[in-house]
Amino acid sequence: MRGHGFLIANYVRGDSVIHRTPLWLKFLVVVACGTASFLIVDWAVSLAIFAVMCGLFLLSGAGVRRLLRAIWMVAPILLVIGLFQWWQLGGPTAARIVVNILVCVVAASVLTATTPVQDLLDGVVSLAKPFRRLGADPERFALTIAVMLRSIPFIAGAFSDVRDSARARGLERNPRALVLPVFITTVAYARQTGDALAARGLGEAEEIPEKS
């Protein structure tokens, strides 16, 4: 399978201010950006926040190329959304929605580019600890995030491969030739991943020592 693009940036080693910022604060910024996307009504404000998030990304030292790549990966989807919203609700609203999505993508990229995945998973485990009282296993929450991070680029790569295969057979205009193989590949991948995790003993409920 070909190399996969990813919607959000992978971890980049560094010692910037952003790298040293506590995980909870970075996480709060991501949550705040997501919440703000529902509340902001002026596209100029969205654009200003987008500029700030881009500035934070660059401050982390992750580089312009990674930033552009993260944006480029969502560009086709944003184009479709933007055109549709323009047609339905007009230019300013379309611009606000598109820029708000970009804010979320860049904010998530700042988090993932400056936080090692294991630290991210440890953070998820800490956040999920209260659910232990309800019988949930916090490690499973972390594993779910890990699998999600891994699955998105896989599906993107599967789509690229299938599109190339369809082109080679002159079927690029046939949606069934694109969608069905991706669907089947994804289901097979899910099963393989499940087997691989089970084989490594990951995802099994943690043994809680009995109280004496």
Contacts with another protein by CB under 8 A lie at 1, 3-4, 6, 10-11, 13, 116-119, 121-122, 139, 142, 146-147, 149-150, 153, 157, 189, 192-193, 195-202, 204, 206-207
CA atoms within 13 A on the CB side of 172: 7
CA distance 148 to 144: 6
Q: How far is the CB of 133 from another protein (least distance, A)?
A: 20
Q: How far is the CB of 157 from another protein (least distance, A)?
A: 8
Nearer to another protein, 90 or 116 (CB): 116
Nearer to another protein, 78 or 147 (CB): 147
Q: How far is the CB of 104 from another protein (least distance, A)?
A: 20
Nearer to another protein, 201 or 209 (CB): 201
Angle value at C-alpha 151, between 147 and 153, nearest 5 degrees: 135
Q: How far is the CB of 19 from another protein (least distance, A)?
A: 15
Q: How far is the CB of 182 from another protein (least distance, A)?
A: 16
For the chain, state the CA radius of gyration: 20
CB 12 within 8 A of CB 61: yes
Nearer to another protein, 94 or 128 (CB): 128
CA distance 152 to 149: 6
Nearer to another protein, 73 or 146 (CB): 146
